[in-house]
Chain A
Amino acid sequence: MTPLFSALFDALDSRMHLKGPTRATANKVFPANWSFLLGEVATIAFGVLIATGIFLTLFYRASTDPTVYGGTNEFFDGATVPAAFESIIRLSDDVPGGLFVRRVHRAASHLFIATIVMHMLRIIMTGAFRKPRELNYHLGIGLLTLALVEGFLGYSLPYDSLAGTGIRVAYSIVLSIPYIGENVAFWIFGGEFPTGAIIPRFHALHVFVLPLVLTGLIALHVLILVRQKHTQMPKPDIDGHTYIVGKPLWPSQFAESTTLFLWVGGLLALAATLIPWSDVELLGPYVSGEVGNNAQPDWFLFWTDGLLRALPPFEFRILGATINTVFVAGAVIPGLMFGLLFAYPFIERRVYGLTGDWHVLTNPLDIPLRAAMVMGTFSFVLLASANATNDILSRMLGIPIENLVFGFRLSMVVLPPLLAGLIYASSKRRLKAAGARVATNEEEAQSRFQPSELTSS
Chain B
Amino acid sequence: MTQPPTPPKDDLIVLERHTPQASVANDTLVIGGAIAAAVFGVAFAVSLITGFGIGVYGFFLALAFFSLALSTRRYFFDRFPDIEAAELRDAPIESPDRPISAVAPLGRRPLLTRVLIACAGVFGISLLALVPSLGPQVGNRLRRTPWAQGVRLVTTENTELRPDDVTVGGVVTAWPHGSIGFERAAVLVMRLSSPPEAPTIMDWVIGDSLVAYSKICTHAGCPVALFRERDDSLFCPCHQSTFDVARGCVPTFGPATRALPQLPLGTDDDGFLIATGDFEEPPGPSAG
A contact residues vs B (CB 8 Å cutoff) = 20, 23-24, 27-29, 32, 96-97, 99-100, 103, 165, 168-169, 171-173, 175-183, 185-194, 197, 228-229, 238, 241-248, 251-252, 254-255, 258-259, 262-263, 265-267, 269-270, 272-273, 287-295, 305, 308-315, 321-327, 329-330, 359, 390-391, 401-402, 405
The answer to whether A190 touches B135 (Cβ under 8 A) is yes
Within 8 A of A (CB), among B141-173: 141-142, 156, 173
Among candidates B184, B237, B284, B285, residue contacting A291 with C-beta atoms closer than 8 Å: B237
8 contacting pairs across A/B (C-beta < 8 A)? A178-B288, A244-B87, A246-B85, A262-B66, A290-B223, A311-B255, A323-B288, A405-B254
Indicate if B43 sits at the interface (CB-CB under 8 A): no
Tell me the nearest residue of chain A to B284, going by C-beta. Answer: A172
A171 to B142, CA, bound (A): 13
A329 to B84, CA, bound (A): 50
A244 to B88, CA, bound (A): 6
The answer to whether B220 touches A172 (Cβ under 8 A) is yes
The answer to whether B220 touches A292 (Cβ under 8 A) is no
13 additional contacts (CB under 8 A) given A243-B13, A401-B240 = A172-B220, A176-B288, A182-B142, A186-B136, A241-B89, A252-B80, A252-B82, A266-B65, A273-B54, A289-B216, A315-B258, A322-B286, A405-B254
Q: Which of A103, A188, A263, A311 has the most CB of B within 10 A?
A: A263
The answer to whether B135 touches A187 (Cβ under 8 A) is yes
Q: Which 6 pairs of residues, A with B, have the shortest CB-CB distance?
A: A273-B58, A266-B65, A186-B135, A255-B76, A262-B69, A269-B62
A29 to B12, CA, bound (A): 9
A251-B286 CB under 8 A given contacts A186-B138, A193-B221: no
Among candidates A188, A242, A295, A321, residue contacting B134 with C-beta atoms closer than 8 Å: A188
A310 to B237, CA, bound (A): 14
The answer to whether B10 touches A294 (Cβ under 8 A) is no
The answer to whether A246 touches B84 (Cβ under 8 A) is yes
The answer to whether B85 touches A248 (Cβ under 8 A) is yes
Indicate if B35 sits at the interface (CB-CB under 8 A): no
Contacts of A27 in B (CB 8 A): 10-12, 85, 87
The answer to whether A325 touches B257 (Cβ under 8 A) is yes
The answer to whether A359 touches B89 (Cβ under 8 A) is yes
Contacts of B239 in A (CB 8 A): 305, 308-309
Indicate if B90 sits at the interface (CB-CB under 8 A): yes
A283 to B240, CA, bound (A): 20
The answer to whether B131 touches A251 (Cβ under 8 A) is no
Among candidates B62, B64, B89, B286, residue contacting A243 with C-beta atoms closer than 8 Å: B89
Indicate if B207 sits at the interface (CB-CB under 8 A): no
The answer to whether A172 touches B142 (Cβ under 8 A) is no
B contact residues vs A (CB 8 Å cutoff) = 9-13, 15, 48-49, 51, 54-55, 57-59, 61-66, 68-69, 72-73, 76-77, 79-80, 82-90, 131-132, 134-138, 141-142, 156, 173, 175, 181-184, 186, 215-216, 219-223, 225-226, 237-241, 251, 253-258, 284-288
The answer to whether A321 touches B12 (Cβ under 8 A) is no
The answer to whether B142 touches A192 (Cβ under 8 A) is yes
Tell me the nearest residue of chain A to B6, going by C-beta. Answer: A23
The answer to whether B237 touches A295 (Cβ under 8 A) is yes
The answer to whether B9 touches A251 (Cβ under 8 A) is no
Contacts of B136 in A (CB 8 A): 186, 191
Contacts of A171 in B (CB 8 A): 221
A181-B288 CB under 8 A given contacts A28-B87, A259-B72: yes
Contacts of B254 in A (CB 8 A): 309, 313, 405
A316 to B76, CA, bound (A): 66
A185 to B285, CA, bound (A): 13
The answer to whether A248 touches B10 (Cβ under 8 A) is no
A97-B258 CB under 8 A given contacts A165-B238, A245-B85, A359-B89: no
Contacts of A229 in B (CB 8 A): 87, 89-90
A266-B184 CB under 8 A given contacts A27-B10, A169-B221: no
Contacts of A179 in B (CB 8 A): 288
The answer to whether B86 touches A29 (Cβ under 8 A) is yes
Contacts of B49 in A (CB 8 A): 96
Give, as a whole number of angstroms, the nearest-CB distance from A252 to chain B.
6
Tell me the nearest residue of chain B to A270, going by C-beta. Answer: B62
A273-B59 CB under 8 A given contacts A29-B87, A178-B288, A191-B136: yes
Tell me the nearest residue of chain A to B142, going by C-beta. Answer: A182
Among candidates A187, A228, A247, residue contacting B131 with C-beta atoms closer than 8 Å: A187
Tell me the nearest residue of chain A to B173, going by C-beta. Answer: A289
Among candidates A100, A191, A251, A254, residue contacting B57 with C-beta atoms closer than 8 Å: A100
The answer to whether B69 touches A272 (Cβ under 8 A) is no
The answer to whether B58 touches A269 (Cβ under 8 A) is yes
Among candidates A182, A252, A309, residue contacting B138 with C-beta atoms closer than 8 Å: A182
Give, as a whole number of angstroms, the nearest-CB distance from A283 to chain B.
13
Q: Which of B68, B82, B134, B156 has the most CB of A within 10 A?
A: B134
Among candidates B66, B84, B251, B258, residue contacting A245 with C-beta atoms closer than 8 Å: B84
Among candidates A24, A29, A99, A402, residue contacting B253 with C-beta atoms closer than 8 Å: A402
A288 to B176, CA, bound (A): 14
Tell me the nearest residue of chain A to B15, going by C-beta. Answer: A245
Contacts of B141 in A (CB 8 A): 192
The answer to whether B88 touches A265 (Cβ under 8 A) is no
Q: Which of B76, B87, B136, B253 has the most CB of A within 10 A?
A: B87
Contacts of B253 in A (CB 8 A): 401-402, 405
A172-B61 CB under 8 A given contacts A242-B89, A248-B12, A266-B66: no
Tell me the nearest residue of chain B to A259, going by C-beta. Answer: B73
Tell me the nearest residue of chain A to B215, going by C-beta. Answer: A289
Tell me the nearest residue of chain B to A92, going by C-beta. Answer: B54
The answer to whether A289 touches B183 (Cβ under 8 A) is yes
Contacts of B219 in A (CB 8 A): 172, 308, 313, 325-326
Contacts of B90 in A (CB 8 A): 228-229
Among candidates A182, A197, A266, A309, residue contacting B62 with C-beta atoms closer than 8 Å: A266
Contacts of A193 in B (CB 8 A): 183, 221
Give, as a whole number of angstroms, the nearest-CB distance from A193 to chain B.
6
The answer to whether B58 touches A100 (Cβ under 8 A) is yes
Contacts of B135 in A (CB 8 A): 183, 185-191, 197
